[in-house]
Structure 1
Amino acid sequence: MAHDAELAGRVRRAVPDEKNVREVTMFGGLAFMVDEEMMACVSGGGGALLVRVSRSRDAEYLKVEGARRAEMGKGRSMGEGWITVDEDALTEDGDLHFWIDAVLEYNAEKTAEC
């Protein structure tokens, strides 16, 4: 499974140590699961990052530079809460941490609802 190994390493290092993390191939890349919830998926050929965020903050997150609605195939939107972040928007560690924090926040909200 092809994925951007450098970006995958950065994601791996950015996840808090206390989290239960495993890596799984899915969505054509390498997905990072935290407590059995997808945190992020690193794709190949361009190093984009797929994240799942709160639908209530979807519009806000889409305004962040480099963020766009995730698609599953050309022109097939994955819907609210699914965002692809371009590699160029992840050059700084702070940018990557912003997205990881957004996903972990969403995952915590989902867990609290159960």
Structure 2
Amino acid sequence: MKVNEKLLNRIREALVDVDHLQEKTMFGGICFMVNDKMCVCIRDDRMMCRVGPENYEACLEKNGCEPMIHGKKQMKGYVFVYEEGYKDRRDFETWIRLALNYNQQLI
């Protein structure tokens, strides 16, 4: 399994105070589950964020973001974010916040 260790550590640091957090190896990467729901994952140099259907289209307009496609199916509510989309601290924090906010709606 190949993951960007720097990105992995950034995500771990961002989620350090989150309750009910689990780190699991999934889909050839590492997934952070919050309240037993997929929230943020990392695979190679990209981050997958579960942002929800209502935020999906707006997220796709952001720099470095593209739809998550599993098999041949586009997974509405999930996006991949490449380095140009999370490199800036503020952008990274926005993605984490979007994923955590959606996760709270699932409780």
Match of 1:87 among 83, 87, 91: 83
CA RMSD of superposed structures (Å):
1.4
Where structure 1 has 5 or more consecutive residues not aligned to the other structure, the ranges are none
Structure 1's 28 and 67: CA in aligned 2 closer, same or farther, altered over 3 A? Answer: same
Is the counterpart of residue 35 in structure 1 residue 31 in structure 2?
A: no
Distance 1:19 1:92 in 2: 25
* AA in 2 matched with 1:104: L
Distance 1:25 1:69 in 2: 21
Where structure 2 has 5 or more consecutive residues not aligned to the other structure, the ranges are none
* AA in 2 matched with 1:89: G
User: Quick check: 1:40–1:50 contact (8 Å CA) kept in 2?
Assistant: yes
Instruction: Tell me the number of residue pairs that the alignment of Structure 1 and Structure 2 aligns.
Output: 107
| Shift, 1:94, TM fit | 1.4
Q: What is the TM-score normalised by the length of structure 2? A: 0.90
User: Quick check: 2:63–2:84 contact (8 Å CA) kept in 1?
Assistant: no
* AA in 1 matched with 2:65: A
Residue in structure 1 matched with residue 103 of structure 2 by the alignment: 107
Q: What is the TM-score normalised by the length of structure 1? A: 0.85
Identity %: 29
User: Quick check: 1:54–1:81 contact (8 Å CA) kept in 2?
Assistant: yes
Distance 1:50 1:85 in 2: 6
Distance 2:23 2:5 in 1: 13
Is the counterpart of residue 48 in structure 1 residue 12 in structure 2?
A: no
User: Quick check: 1:69–1:77 contact (8 Å CA) kept in 2?
Assistant: no
- Secondary structure in structure 1 of the residue aligned to 2:80: strand
Distance 1:7 1:65 in 2: 17
- Secondary structure in structure 1 of the residue aligned to 2:106: helix
Residue in structure 2 matched with residue 21 of structure 1 by the alignment: 21
Output one character per residue of 1:64-84: Cα deviation in whole Å (capped at 9) or x when no partner: 1111101225xx233210100
